[in-house]
Amino acid sequence: MHLFDEATALEPLGEDGRRFSGAAHPGFKNMIGPYGGWSAAILAKSMIEASGPDMELTTITTDFLAGASEGPITIDLECKRQGRNTQFWTADLVPGGSETPANCALGIMSRRRETLAWVEGHRPDAPEPEDCERFPLPMAWTKPVEMRGAANNPFTGGDGTTKSLAWVRLDPDRPLDPVGLVALADTPTPRLFFKTGKPDLIATVSMTVYLHATPDDYEAVGTDYLLVEATGARGGRGFNDQHATIWSRDGRLMATTQQMVSYRTKASKP
């Protein structure tokens, strides 16, 4: 079993299919608590399993209230509204021994149908992932999540902006699916680091992922890299935003995502 599937494994509790047990896995540990992409992914997986086989995850917003301690977790779900083709779900991730959620999420599951389709923009030009170096980061989660800088890498002086490109995938090979795509949406290096040129204490407080990929797109990507283009529009007064688009190597727009990030870094004195 792939480490990612082991870390996002769920066991149903009860017969209504709306409560699951799992565990915060040490393989996805971050500097404080688990990697946010893992939290969002396991919450996404719980919604997918609760909603039924003909529904697809369309969007998920995960709020990070606190870091989940390593060990058992429980996920409680509620379907707030169910229409003919759309379901609105909430999910709370509660660490073992606690009554307070560490993460909560709102997700929309949909029965997708054929309609007019378009894509705005195109995949940015970038060197092939095989020609880019892997980020040498110390956190546990960067071992099963491979990242290769393709433009304006952090801590290198860069071009003075927060816009960056990086190739990402799960390592070793694992076919892409919606749960994996949600996890990879949290890979961009914090935009603050591009402004300070060094790591600093940050915390994502909310992340939304919009999933555009079709079943054919997932099949076409398989285990290949995705290109993540990320930027931040504004930072100040303790928070900054982050926006990213996620492309396949052959130019398919797989997902878009945005975050709000908290930080305490003071402005440098002149």
User: Concatenated DSSP letters for 46-82?
Assistant: HHHHHH-TT-EEEEEEEEE-SPPPSEEEEEEEEEEEE
Rounded to the nearest 5°, which phi and psi values hold at 158? 55, -155
pLDDT score, position 270: 64
Backbone phi, then psi, for 204, in 5-degree steps?
-70, 130
Model confidence pLDDT, tens digit, residues 184-213: 999 999 999 999 999 999 999 999 999 999
Least confident residue range of 65-69, 99-103, 120-124: 65-69
d(CA 53, CA 29): 31
- Give per-residue pLDDT as tens, 247-257: 999 999 999 99
Please state which of the four CATH numbers 1.10.3210.10, 2.40.160.210, 3.40.50.150, 3.30.70.260 is assigned to the domain occupying 129-263.
2.40.160.210
Beta-strand (E) ranges in 140-234?
145-151, 164-170, 202-211, 226-231
Token reading at 93: 């991730």
Superfamily of domain 3-110: Acyl-CoA thioesterase, double hotdog domain (2.40.160.210)
| Token pair recorded at residue 67 | 């870091």
What is the maximal distance between C-alpha atoms in the chain?
A: 63
Contact 141, 89 (CB under 8 A): no
The answer to whether 110 touches 56, Cβ cutoff 8 Å, is: yes
Helices (H) and strands (E) counted in the chain, each on its own, are 5, 13
In the chain, where the domains are located: 3-110, 129-263
Domains 3-110 and 129-263 share a fold: yes
Q: What is the DSSP letter of 154?
A: T
Give the pLDDT confidence of 48-67 residue by residue, as tens digits: 999 988 999 999 999 999 98
Specify the pTM.
0.97
Q: What sign for the dihedral angle of Cα 44, 37, 262, 161? A: negative
Q: Which two tokens stand for residue 74?
A: 């429980």
What is the distance between the alpha carbons of residues 146 and 86, in angstroms, rounded to a whole number? 34
Of 222, 243, 261, give the one whose Cα is nearest residue 121: 243
Q: What is the mean pLDDT of residues 24-40?
A: 95
pLDDT at site 268? 78
| pLDDT at residue number 155 | 86
